[in-house]
C-alpha cells in the first residue's frame, strides 16, 4: 500500500500526467477508427516511448490501451462498425439509439460505463495480482511448462472459430520465437545467414505488420463502403436526447456493476478476450431484463452492459501477466516488451524485486481511468468527428507511423522488411481465419516455453514417469487434454449446426427461385 501511495507521488506530476493524457487521447482516436484497436496503438507507440522516463512511458502505453478500449464504442454507436470486435454488442443498441437521434446519450453512457468498468477492474488487479504471485513463486520449471502449454492451448482454442487453426497459429508463433542464437549452445537457428536475425525476430515490427499494416490493407479494400456509412449520421435536437437522465442512471448502475465483474472474471482467464466479456455481459443483462425483446432496438442498458465489461477486461488481463508472467491477451503480450524495455520484468518476482515500480504502475493505471473520463467527456464530439475523416486520408498517415515505429526499434531498414513480411502473413491469417492473437502469444511465450521444457527434460531425467513428483504439472497436462477435447467437441457441434442451417436454408432459396 505504501508503494502505491508513493507511486501516486511519482505519477502526479505535470510531465507524467501529460503523457498519460497524450496516450488516452491517441488511444481514443485509434479506438474510434474501425480496425485500429488498442494492440495496434500500443505496438506502434512502444518505440515512441524509448526516450521517455519509465513511469511516463508505461503510463502513456496504458493510457493508449484504456483510451482505445473506450474509443471503440464511438464507431460502434455512430457507424454500426465496432472499432474492435469486443464493441460489437455495443452496436446492437448503440446504433439504433444513434438512428433515433440519441447518439450523444449513447456515447456518454458508453464512456461512463467504460470508465467505471475499467476502474473497478483496476482495483481487482491491485487486490489480486500480488497474492496470486506469491503462490506462483512456489512453482518450478516443470509446472510452469505445463501451465504455459495449457495457456497456449486454451488461447488457441478460444481465440477463433477453429481449435485446429488456433493451434497451428500458436505453433507457428513458437517456431518464429526460436529464430536467432540459441542461448544454451549458441548455435544460430533459422537465421539464413542474416546477422540481423541473430538476436531473434523483434516483436514490435512483427506486431505492427500483423496488426496495423495488415488491417490498413483490409480497410483500403473496403474503403468506399466504410466511408459511405460515416456520412449518414445526424444528431437529435432535444436535451433529453443528449444527456443521461437520473432514471437511466438508476437502471444502468446495477448493469454496469454486473458488467464490470463479468469483464474482470473474463480478463483473468487467459485467452477469453474482451469480446467474450462484452457478449456475456450483454446476454446476462438481456436475460435479467423484464423486457428482453426490446434489446437491439435502442436500450441504453445494452450499451452500459457491453462497454463496462469490455473495458473491465483490459486491466484484469494484466493479472495473469503480473502474477505468472503469462500474457492473457494480445495487449498483455505486447505490453511485455514495453515493460521489459523500461526495466520491469512481468512475473511473480517483480513484486519482490521492484515493488516501487509496481506501485507506480498501479498509480498510473488509476490516474489513466480518471483522465480517460475527463478527456472522453470533454472531447467526445471531437472524437466523433474523427470517424468522418475519409479513410484515404487516414491510411497514409497510419502507414507512415507504422514505418517509424518499426524503424525505431533497431534504427535499421531491416525492421521495415520484417514488418512487411509479417504484414503479408497477418493479412492472409485474417482472411483464412487463423488467429493472429494466438500466433503473437505463442511468439511471446515461446522462449519461456522452450526454456522450461528443456529444464523439465533435465529435471525429469528424460522420463515421463517422474512427473508423479510434480502433481501441479499433471493437473495442468490433464486440463490441457480436457480443454482440447471439450473445445474440439464444441467446434464440431457448431460446424454441424451451421451445416444443418445451411442445408435448411438451401431448399427455401430453391423454392423461392422456382
Partner 1 sequence: MRQADIWSGAGLALVALLVLFVVIPTQIESAPDGYVSPRLVPQMMMVLVACLGALQAYNAWRRTPDGDGSLPVTREELLALAKISGVFALALALYLWLSPLAAGIALIAGALIVLGERRIWMIVAMPAGLLLAVWYLFYHVLGTALV
Contact residues for partner 1, defined by CB under 8 A = 48, 50-52, 162, 164-165, 167-168, 171-172, 174-175, 178, 182, 184-185, 187-192, 216-218, 220-223, 391-393, 395-397, 399-400, 403-404, 407-408, 411, 413, 416, 420, 427-428, 431-434, 449-450, 453-454, 457-458, 495, 499, 502-503
**What are the angstrom distances between the C-alpha of 509 and each of 287, 410, 513?**
33, 57, 6
Q: Closest Cα partner for 277 from 28, 110, 151, 88? A: 88
**In the complex, least distance from residue 187 CB atom to partner 1, rounded to whole angstroms:** 5
**In the complex, least distance from residue 152 CB atom to partner 1, rounded to whole angstroms:** 11
Q: Give the three cell numbers for residue 88.
A: 460489437
**In the complex, least distance from residue 364 CB atom to partner 1, rounded to whole angstroms:** 19
- DSSP string of 200-252, one letter each residue: ---HHHHHIIIIIIHHHHHHHHTHHHHHHHHTS-----SGGGTS--HHHHHHH
What lies within 8 Å, CB to CB, of 263 at 6+ separation is: 117, 121, 274, 277, 278, 281, 308, 309, 310, 311, 312, 313, 316
Q: Give the three cell numbers for residue 136.
A: 506462483
**In the complex, least distance from residue 463 CB atom to partner 1, rounded to whole angstroms:** 15
**Beta carbon nearer to partner 1, 21 or 366:** 21
**Beta carbon nearer to partner 1, 189 or 251:** 189
**In the complex, least distance from residue 437 CB atom to partner 1, rounded to whole angstroms:** 17
**Beta carbon nearer to partner 1, 171 or 474:** 171
**What are the angstrom distances between the C-alpha of 17 and each of 22, 368, 371, 427?**
9, 8, 8, 36
**In the complex, least distance from residue 99 CB atom to partner 1, rounded to whole angstroms:** 27
**Beta carbon nearer to partner 1, 60 or 269:** 60
CB 230 within 8 A of CB 111: no
Q: Give the three cell numbers for residue 497.
A: 449446426
- DSSP string of 353-379, one letter each residue: H-HHHHHHHHHHHHHHHHHHHHHHHHT
**Beta carbon nearer to partner 1, 132 or 457:** 457
What is the total residue count of the chain? Answer: 514
**Beta carbon nearer to partner 1, 5 or 220:** 220
**What are the angstrom distances between the C-alpha of 84 and each of 138, 183, 273, 278?**
38, 38, 11, 11
**Beta carbon nearer to partner 1, 52 or 474:** 52
Q: In angstroms, rounded to a whole number, what is the distance separating the alpha carbons of residues 239 and 439?
A: 48
Q: Give the three cell numbers for residue 374.
A: 475527463
Which residue has 469486443 as its cell numbers?
Answer: 86
**In the complex, least distance from residue 421 CB atom to partner 1, rounded to whole angstroms:** 11
**Beta carbon nearer to partner 1, 136 or 402:** 402
**In the complex, least distance from residue 164 CB atom to partner 1, rounded to whole angstroms:** 5
Which residue has 449520421 as its cell numbers?
Answer: 233
**In the complex, least distance from residue 43 CB atom to partner 1, rounded to whole angstroms:** 17
**Beta carbon nearer to partner 1, 60 or 313:** 60
**Beta carbon nearer to partner 1, 172 or 249:** 172
Sign of the torsion formed by the C-alpha atoms of 220, 221, 223 and 229: negative
**In the complex, least distance from residue 207 CB atom to partner 1, rounded to whole angstroms:** 18
Q: How many secondary structure helices (H) and strands (E) does the chain include?
A: 23, 2
Amino acid at each position: 500500500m505504501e508503494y502505491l501511495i508513493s507511486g501516486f507521488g511519482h505519477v502526479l506530476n505535470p510531465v507524467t500526467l501529460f503523457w498519460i493524457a497524450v496516450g488516452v487521447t491517441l488511444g481514443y482516436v485509434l479506438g474510434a477508427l474501425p480496425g485500429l484497436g488498442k494492440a495496434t496503438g500500443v505496438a506502434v507507440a512502444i518505440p515512441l516511448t524509448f526516450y521517455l522516463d519509465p513511469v511516463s512511458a508505461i503510463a502513456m502505453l496504458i493510457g493508449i490501451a484504456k483510451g482505445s478500449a473506450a474509443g471503440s464504442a464511438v464507431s460502434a454507436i455512430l457507424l454500426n462498425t465496432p472499432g474492435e470486435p469486443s464493441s460489437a454488442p455495443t452496436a446492437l443498441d448503440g446504433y439504433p439509439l444513434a438512428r433515433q437521434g440519441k447518439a450523444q446519450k449513447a456515447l456518454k453512457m458508453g464512456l461512463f460505463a467504460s470508465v467505471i468498468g475499467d476502474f473497478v477492474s483496476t482495483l481487482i488487479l491491485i487486490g489480486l495480482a500480488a497474492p496470486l504471485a506469491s503462490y506462483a513463486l512456489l512453482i518450478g520449471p516443470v509446472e510452469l511448462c505445463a501451465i504455459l502449454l495449457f495457456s497456449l492451448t486454451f488461447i488457441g482454442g478460444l481465440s477463433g472459430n477453429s481449435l485446429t487453426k488456433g493451434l497451428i497459429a500458436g505453433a507457428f508463433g513458437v517456431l518464429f520465437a526460436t529464430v536467432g542464437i540459441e542461448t544454451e549452445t549458441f548455435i544460430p537457428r533459422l537465421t539464413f545467414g542474416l546477422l540481423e536475425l541473430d538476436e531473434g525476430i523483434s516483436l514490435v515490427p512483427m506486431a505492427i505488420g500483423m496488426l496495423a499494416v495488415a488491417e490498413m490493407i483490409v480497410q483500403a479494400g473496403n474503403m468506399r463502403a466504410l466511408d459511405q456509412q460515416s456520412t449518414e449520421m445526424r444528431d437529435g435536437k432535444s436535451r433529453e436526447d443528449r444527456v443521461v437522465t437520473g432514471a437511466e442512471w438508476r437502471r444502468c448502475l446495477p448493469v454496469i456493476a454486473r458488467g464490470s465483474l463479468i469483464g474482470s472474471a473474463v480478463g483473468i482467464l487467459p485467452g477469453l478476450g474482451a469480446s467474450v466479456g462484452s457478449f456475456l455481459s450483454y446476454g446476462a443483462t438481456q436475460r435479467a431484463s423484464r423486457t428482453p425483446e426490446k434489446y437491439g432496438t435502442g436500450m441504453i442498458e445494452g450499451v452500459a452492459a457491453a462497454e463496462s465489461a469490455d473495458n473491465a477486461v483490459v486491466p484484469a488481463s494484466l493479472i495473469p501477466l503480473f502474477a505468472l508472467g503469462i500474457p492473457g491477451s494480445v495487449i498483455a503480450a505486447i505490453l511485455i516488451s514495453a515493460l521489459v524495455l523500461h526495466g520491469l520484468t512481468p512475473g511473480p518476482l517483480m513484486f519482490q524485486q521492484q515493488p516501487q515500480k509496481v506501485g507506480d504502475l498501479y498509480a498510473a493505471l488509476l490516474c489513466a481511468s480518471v483522465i480517460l473520463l475527463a478527456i472522453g467527456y470533454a472531447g467526445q464530439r471531437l472524437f466523433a468527428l474523427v470517424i468522418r475523416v475519409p479513410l484515404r486520408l487516414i491510411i497514409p498517415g497510419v502507414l507512415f507511423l507504422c514505418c517509424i515505429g518499426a524503424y525505431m526499434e533497431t534504427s535499421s531498414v531491416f525492421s521495415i522488411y520484417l514488418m512487411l513480411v509479417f504484414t503479408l502473413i497477418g493479412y492472409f491469417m485474417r482472411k483464412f481465419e487463423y488467429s493472429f492473437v494466438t500466433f503473437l502469444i505463442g511468439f511471446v511465450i515461446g522462449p519461456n516455453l522452450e526454456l522450461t521444457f528443456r529444464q523439465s527434460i533435465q529435471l525429469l531425467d528424460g522420463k515421463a514417469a517422474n512427473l508423479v513428483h510434480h502433481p501441479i504439472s499433471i493437473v495442468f497436462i490433464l486440463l490441457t487434454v480436457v480443454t482440447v477435447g471439450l473445445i474440439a467437441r464444441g467446434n464440431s457441434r457448431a460446424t454441424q449446426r451451421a451445416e444443418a442451417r445451411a442445408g435448411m436454408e438451401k431448399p427455401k432459396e430453391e423454392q423461392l427461385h422456382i
